[in-house]
Structure formats: C-alpha cells, structure tokens
Structure 1
Amino acid sequence: MQDYEQTIFVSYAWGGESEEIVNQIDQAMQKRGIKITRDKRDLGYKGSIKEFMERIGQGNCVILVVSDKYLRSPNCMFELVEIAENKQFHDRIFPIVLADADIYDPVKRLGYVKYWEEKRTELADAMKTVDPANLQGIRDDIDLYDRIRDKISGLASTLKDMNTLTAEMHQDANFSHLYDAIEKRLKQSPETGKDKTKEGISNSEENVTATNGGIAVGKIQIGGNVEGSNIVIGNNNQVNNKKK
C-alpha cells in the first residue's frame, strides 16, 4: 500500500487556537491507535518544506484546521490548493473551521480573494524594481499567488457547504466524529471510494460459472480457493467451481 493511502496528515497554521486543537486531535487519535503526521514533529531538521507540503497535497486523509490565519498563509494555502488539484477533494479532507475563518458570509469570503489579489499585485510591482536576472525563486511565489487567487473562492465555498461542526462540538465529543470519518475513509479505496472489503478480488486461477436455474449466465472470478462443488449466491443461483 502506498504511503499516502495510510498516512493521516494535518494542515494548519502554527500557533494560537489552531495549534491547541491540533495538539488535542493528536492526543485523541493516539489514544485510539492512530498516528497523525504533522510538520513540527515529522518534517525533521533540514527537511524540505515544499516536499512535505506536496506529500500533504497527495494525502488520502488530510485533517484541515481552517482559521483566518490559515486562509492568509502562503504555505497553508499551497497545501490546500495541492489537495484540491489531486482530485477527490471532498472525500480526502476532514475540516474543522474555526470561528475567525470568514467563509460563510459572501462579502467576507470575497475579502480573501481581494487579499490574494493585493498580495499578487504588491509582489508584481516589487519585481519590476529588480533586474529580471535576479528574480530566481521569486517567480515561483507569484505563480503560487496566482493559483491561490484563482482557487480560494471555490475552495472556501466547498468548505462552507460541508457540515464541519464547530471546534467546540468536536472537543466535547473528544473528536469521535472526526475519528469515525477517518476510519471510514481508510477502509475505502483511494481510487474508487468504495469499501475495500466489498470490492471484487480477481484470481485468474479460478474461473467459475454463475448459473440461473442450471443455465450458465456468465463467469465470475473469485480470489482464494473455492471449496466444495457449489456456492449458492441467491435463489436458485449457484456457482460451479469447474474450470473452463
């Protein structure tokens, strides 16, 4: 199984209420036998921040603690945009939206769009004062601002439409709602979103024929060994374990 299918990441802005909640989530999940991967503990000295954020973007399960600071942070928004661009955004995120994140009022939501437009303009104007030959690395920043500006309104709209519960509700429940949702996701295939335990497993060594009242109606491939002469799969339906 690939790393991103197993690992549970958390994306949040350092400090304040966000970090307090992440610490509480971390402790609650550890008591349930689940390890949260977070930058302060798992990035390591001299580790690549960008590579770590890209891993978060590919994560199968990402807890988001969304605050006003988060929505104004280049690093946090890089992670959020990366998650969105890696598909199945709604299924892979597990948000907790803090009270200071103004995503529910459309006027205030537009304030975040304006913020990133102004950040982009400020940087673009500053770049004009420098020789283009000396802009190495700066162009990456303006490209990021463009990505954030273009996507923040849609991402915020997706978050506001989700019943994320309040931080207090999660705390009162000892984050059980979050735990249950993550457990459900871990049992699903990242590609199909279906329960792994219910998906068919192919085994080319056992070809079996489904019959309807003795009339063959098709072939089914079953993983593992088939014991006995028949397997009943419904009223008057049987599977004969005879190889063709």
Structure 2
Amino acid sequence: MGEMYKYLNRYIIGFEDKYYAAYSGIGDISEAMQIVNGEHLAKTEEEKSEEKPWGEDEGIYISYNWEGHSAHIVDYLGFVLENRGIPFKLDKKDCPYTANIKEFMNAIRAGKTVIVVLSRPYLRSKNCMYELSGIMENVDYKDRMLPVVVDDTIRDDNFYVELVRHWKEKKDKQTEIVEKLRDIDPDMAEPAEMKLKEIEKVYGLLKVIKEYIDWANADNLEALSSTQFKKIIDEIYKRRG
C-alpha cells in the first residue's frame, strides 16, 4: 500500500465510540484497509438488511444471570445492538416493576432468536435454567440460540460433576417439600409440584446442555466483546436473510 501504511496506525487509533458503533468493531487488518480505501462505502448485504423494518417476531431476547460480570457485558451488548438498530428484549428494560416475570421468561423460551450468556451462576440459577430448558426442549434449539461463554471453565468435567450434584440436591429437597404438603393437604401441594416438575426438567436436560456447551463453536466473552460482538451481529443478519 506504499505511503498509505504510515497513516494506518493513526487511522485505527482514531476510531472512537461512534465509529465502533457504526462498524461493530474491526476483526482484522484487511477490514481496516477496506475502510481506508473507501470500500466500506458500497452497501453490504448486512447494510441492506439494516434498511428493512424489523417485524415484531424478529426481536432478539437476551437470557443471562444478574451476577456482576454477565450483567456488565449484557449492558455493553445492549449498547451495540441499539446502535445497530437491532431491537432486543431484556428483563431490566422490558419487564417493569410489578410485571409478571414468569410471563417474560416464557416469552424468552419461545423467542425466535435468544442470545444466551452462559456462566457458572447462570447454570446454577433456577430462573435462568427455566429459560434455557424451555429453549432446549424444542428440536430446533440450536437454530434459535446464540451462545456467549462467559467463563471457559463451564466446560470442565469437574464443574459438570458439581452441576449434577447441585440439581440433584435441589430435586431431592423439592420432592421432600411436595411430600410434606401432600400429607397436610394434597390440594395445597400444586405450586410445589409445578416447581418440582420444572427442576426435574432441568435435571433431565443436563446431559444435553453439557454436550451443547462442550461442542458448540461459541467464542468466549473476551473474544466477542473485543470485536463488539461482530460474530453475533453477523449471525443475526444471516438468519434474518
């Protein structure tokens, strides 16, 4: 590229928040050179897709745990999606005070596209796993999920042992509660029975969840956030067509 090389570093350093929001991150040097050469001025398929209005059923749901690390990254992800004009639903903004949180969780379970932020706290959480089990009980779950792995140690076999033990204990404790309520008044046991069924469903899916996490080609949090979630953005537009 001759003389243009000496301006390249200065050009890349000059990318500030607005520019990153517009281009969703630079993945490699060839992308930077395309921008330098003005090749980005031609409309891509992604940009053409951006011009189409989003239908109500095309919105993106985000399933995550409220623990600090995941919550911070979800705020950042929401910023990127918003700047790209991609509608998304998040409990903090779409499930207001006094609203029925289970109805919102059921909407996530039925969502066409769900970004799932997988972490140790997520896989131990009853509410998070209620959402995940609802997604994964459908045969097309791999076509609906966009996974983010917060911590690669969730793929560790020792953690899987901990996870199975955790949910087995939850299932056993809930079974005891159901039996006690049935002894007192069978009619009063229904809420506890429903909770037990949800826990049993999660426990029964642990093998499937383990296999998915182990073999899904999902980048970890650092890799995705360093490119402003470019792979996720690209996949959203690819699935949109």
Normalised by the size of structure 1, how large is the TM-score? Answer: 0.71
1:129 to 2:183 alignment = no
Provide structure 2 residue ranges, at least 5 long, that are not aligned to the other structure.
1-53
Question: Per-residue deviation at 1:77?
Answer: 0.5
Q: Distance in 2 between matches of 1:79 and 1:9?
A: 11
Question: Per-residue deviation at 1:119?
Answer: 0.4
Letter of the structure 1 residue corresponding to residue 205 of structure 2 = K
C-alpha contact 2:113 2:144 (8 A) present in aligned 1: yes
**1:79-90 residue pairs with structure 2 within 5 A?**
79-90=131-142
Deviations 1:117-166 (A, max 9, x none): 11010111233333133223111110011000000221121122112111
Structure 1 stretches (4+) deviating beyond 6 angstroms?
A: none
More helix as a share of residues: 2
More strand as a share of residues: 1
Q: Which of 31, 35, 39 pairs up with 2:83?
A: 31
Normalised by the size of structure 2, how large is the TM-score? Answer: 0.72
1:159 to 2:213 alignment = yes
Q: Distance in 2 between matches of 1:89 and 1:147?
A: 16
Kindly tell me the number of residue pairs found equivalent between the two proteins. 185
Letter of the structure 1 residue corresponding to residue 179 of structure 2 = K
Deviations 1:139-194 (A, max 9, x none): 1110011000000221121122112111111111011111111111122xxxxxxx
Q: Larger Rg: 1 or 2?
A: 1
Q: Distance in 2 between matches of 1:87 and 1:53?
A: 19
Q: Distance in 2 between matches of 1:56 and 1:176?
A: 22
The one of the two structures with greater contact order (alpha-carbon pairs below 8 A, sep at least 6) is 2
Percent identity, aligned pairs only? 30
Residue 86 of structure 1 aligns to a residue whose secondary structure is coil
Q: Which of 91, 111, 115 pairs up with 1:59?
A: 111
Q: Which of 96, 100, 106 pairs up with 2:157?
A: 106
Residue 135 of structure 1 aligns to a residue whose secondary structure is helix
Provide structure 1 residue ranges, at least 5 long, that are not aligned to the other structure.
188-244
Q: Which of 59, 72, 75 pairs up with 1:7?
A: 59
C-alpha contact 1:29 1:35 (8 A) present in aligned 2: yes
Q: 1:65/1:138 Cα in 2 relative to 1: closer, same or farther (>3 Å)?
A: same
